[in-house]
Amino acid sequence: MVRRYDPDRRQRIIDAAIRVVGAKGIGGLSHRSVAAEADVPLGSTTYHFKTLDELMVAALRQANEGFAKLVVARGALDDPESDLAAELAGLTGEWLAGDRTGVELEYELYLAALRRPALRPVAAEWCQALAERVAHRTDPVTARALVALLDGICLQVLLTGAEYDEEYARDVLARVIP
């Protein structure tokens, strides 16, 4: 199918990259595999994303948006009267209870930054954005510690396949909050 004018092509390529990583992991990501998944010519992927790193940056940035939207939708982090530990634990539980494949994909792209320096700034955006939001309720150092703790809890849940224990998360988060 030839598409002369295709304003959504770049987005379809990003979406296809996310699906490829979800199905095959980072190792299965290539311009060729994404072009096939997006049903676009191979040249389209390299036109929009010169390198795989550029494509992974776009995919990770889009994946990060899912958690950010959840934070905004709940809105409780902005309420100074709410229990911060309970809100963070609930937010994490809601995120982990959603599409587990999507969460795993986000972490796979996030951890790919260990080997791909181009991904590091985007991987850090998630942590920084959440820490800034939480810092409105506590100090910046505590906010960063809370984000690191949540990150560790999420990784443990994903790596072990264990059920998320919201009560445990709330308890340990509360211990960090002054």
The pair of three-digit structure tokens given for residue 112, joined into one six-digit string = 């790919």
Domain 7-50 falls under CATH 2.60.40.3080: no
Instruction: Give yes or no on whether 7-50 and 63-176 have one common fold.
Output: no
User: CB-side exposure of 143: number of CA atoms within 13 Å?
Assistant: 16
CA dist., res. 162 & res. 158, Å (int)? 7
In the chain, domain spans: 7-50, 63-176
Predicted model pTM = 0.82
Tell me the pLDDT tens digit for each residue of 45-99.
999 999 999 999 998 888 888 777 888 888 878 888 899 999 999 999 998 987 7
Q: What CATH number labels 63-176?
A: 1.10.357.10
